[in-house]
Amino acid sequence: MSEYILLVEPAYRSKYPPLGLMKIAQYHRAKGDSVEFVKGLDPGRRDKCEWDRIYVSTLFTYDWAQTVKTVKYYRYSAKEPCSENVFVGGILATLMGDDLREEVGCRVVKGRLNKRGKLGYQDDEIIDGLIPDYSILDQVSYSYPAQNAYFAYSTRGCVRKCSFCAVPSLEPDYESFFPIRDIVARVDELYGAKKDLLLLDNNVLASDRFDAIIDEIKASGFEKGATLRYKSRSGQSVSAKRHVDFNQGLDARLLTEEKMERLSEIAIRPLRIAFDSISYKDLYEEKIRMAAKYGLGYLSNYILFNYKDRPEEFYQRLRINLELNQELGLQIFSFPMRYIDLKSKDRLVRTPGNLGEYWNEKYLRAIQTVLVATRGVVGTKLRFFKKAFGRDLDGFLKILIMPEDYIQNRFAREADGSTERWWKQFCDLSTSDREMVLCIVHRNNFRSFDRKAPSKAALQVLEHYEPSSRGQFELEYDWESMLRQEIA
């Protein structure tokens, strides 16, 4: 007898479609079941019928509140007993399964679907290796930015055990090779050709079959310079460049010259290399120069901060990329990633575990404010970088303690003299007053401090930090203009 299956992804923003749900959809369709997919809260789907099974995907643990709300919203739409027919899997479910089960009453599915019986079927260990069902994406209005791509793994797991990373819990065993060619061919047959190849490997360079992986990528139509021809909406035949993206990044410690040469044979864009610590400076620079040598000029890297690093080291890593861009004629785009405890249920800095030893609430808020203007990306133009993050380290440290309104509305506050007035008053403070002001500023709470304690000079400085009615968080024209120049 066929079953009615509901697949649910919570309404958080997501760049990539829910791969696990897409594979579960493929499994159930092959069994002849009716499958529906929804993103977020849909009263029509909730009230439609008693679903035989409801599967809910999860992403990051800090999406806890929205995930719990979503599971509770649909829970009683499943056939009784609900706790047996609502399945919740994914990253959050794997890392915090016990908490989730206690909170909502559901079947928690941890890790990959590569072992029999996780969903209660005799053959459900095959799900992890199935072709994703792209057709379910047509059932939702949400548009995933990376939707036009093949999603695959050429390896699973990682040989590293980094303390800030969830991979050891999600994929504890390293598997060095999965064929790609058949996946691409099968997706072409079922859903049509996709432009890009997105590989979700956590450490492909650790594979002892790396050469075979590159050969598979090339044989799948993603050699260097590869294009895809297709018909536009107007019926014209057009072509687009294809790209390969090892989305989780490459391990610089394992990136040899031979492997870089092989990477240059495929349509990789961008080349992602993490720069998680200033201790890797020499190694990182060596690999960037090697990339330039082999013509890989479009790069991206993840800049982890608020972990064990210091703010000045964060600035230094960003600045290194700008200098390499200028020296080598590259385009390196940095993506700062604030560390959040692996089991944190929110992104709040005040949550235990979310604040690094050398950081404070004001520093993190200042960086977030700058990244609002840069759309979360640190680009390639030195002029823009100097304005956004400071001309030098002293300028950066000044921005970290600058009133938020003066960061956000940089040009307007400089033009009306507010920034200069604040800085002069701050620099004129006595040592004791400055320490007192910084203690308040670092906590980033300007509504509850004791106004009777600071001196008159200290209060004058703190007045600059008080919430203003001048339109905080509204990007001014000059920021937008500079951003357009940066993108161009």
Judged against a pLDDT cut of 50, whether residue 338 lies above it is answered with: yes
> Is position 134 within any domain?
no
Judged against a pLDDT cut of 50, whether residue 473 lies above it is answered with: no
> Is position 257 within any domain?
yes
Judged against a pLDDT cut of 70, whether residue 89 lies above it is answered with: yes
Check residue 213 and give its pLDDT: 98
Please state which of the ranges 88-92, 232-236, 297-301 shows the lowest mean pLDDT: 232-236
Determine the average pLDDT of the residues in 112-129: 96
> Is position 464 within any domain?
yes
Distance CA 441, CA 458 (A): 11
The last residue of a domain, from among 129, 156, 184: 129
Give yes or no: residues 23 and 152 share one domain: no
> Is position 138 within any domain?
no
Q: Is the preceding omega at residue 18 within 30 degrees of 0, hence cis?
A: no
> Is position 328 within any domain?
yes
Determine the average pLDDT of the residues in 79-101: 96
Q: What is the mean pLDDT of the chain?
A: 92
Helix (H, G, I), strand (E, B) or coil at 422: helix
Give yes or no: residues 44 and 109 share one domain: yes
pLDDT in tens, 287-316: 999 999 999 999 999 999 999 999 999 999
pLDDT confidence bin for 118, thresholds 50/70/90? very high
Give yes or no: residues 177 and 264 share one domain: yes
> Is position 135 within any domain?
no
Is the Cβ–Cβ distance between 275 and 318 less than 8 Å? no
pLDDT in tens, 267-293: 999 999 989 999 999 999 999 999 999
> Is position 136 within any domain?
no
Which single residue is written with the structure tokens 């990306």? 377
Helix (H, G, I), strand (E, B) or coil at 181: helix
Determine the average pLDDT of the residues in 255-267: 98
Query: What stretches of 53-117 adopt beta strand conformation (E)?
Result: 53-58, 86-90, 107-109
Helix (H) or strand (E) holding 190: helix 181-191
Q: Return the CATH number at 32.
A: 3.40.50
Check residue 231 and give its pLDDT: 75
Check residue 32 and give its pLDDT: 97
Q: Return the CATH number at 322.
A: 3.30.750.210
Give yes or no: residues 362 and 425 share one domain: no
pLDDT confidence bin for 445, thresholds 50/70/90? confident
Check residue 234 and give its pLDDT: 75
Give yes or no: residues 300 and 442 share one domain: no
Determine the average pLDDT of the residues in 204-218: 98
Check residue 288 and give its pLDDT: 98
Give yes or no: residues 192 and 290 share one domain: yes
Is the Cβ–Cβ distance between 402 and 419 less than 8 Å? yes
Counted domains in the chain: 3
pLDDT confidence bin for 372, thresholds 50/70/90? confident
pLDDT confidence bin for 238, thresholds 50/70/90? confident
Judged against a pLDDT cut of 50, whether residue 107 lies above it is answered with: yes
pLDDT confidence bin for 486, thresholds 50/70/90? very low
Judged against a pLDDT cut of 50, whether residue 474 lies above it is answered with: no
The last residue of a domain, from among 129, 156, 180: 129
Give yes or no: residues 229 and 294 share one domain: yes
Judged against a pLDDT cut of 50, whether residue 488 lies above it is answered with: no
Instruction: Give the domain range for residue 416.
Output: 407-487
The last residue of a domain, from among 102, 129, 156: 129
Check residue 471 and give its pLDDT: 41
Reference 323, options 293, 347, 288; nearest CA is 288
Judged against a pLDDT cut of 90, whether residue 472 lies above it is answered with: no
Judged against a pLDDT cut of 70, whether residue 485 lies above it is answered with: no
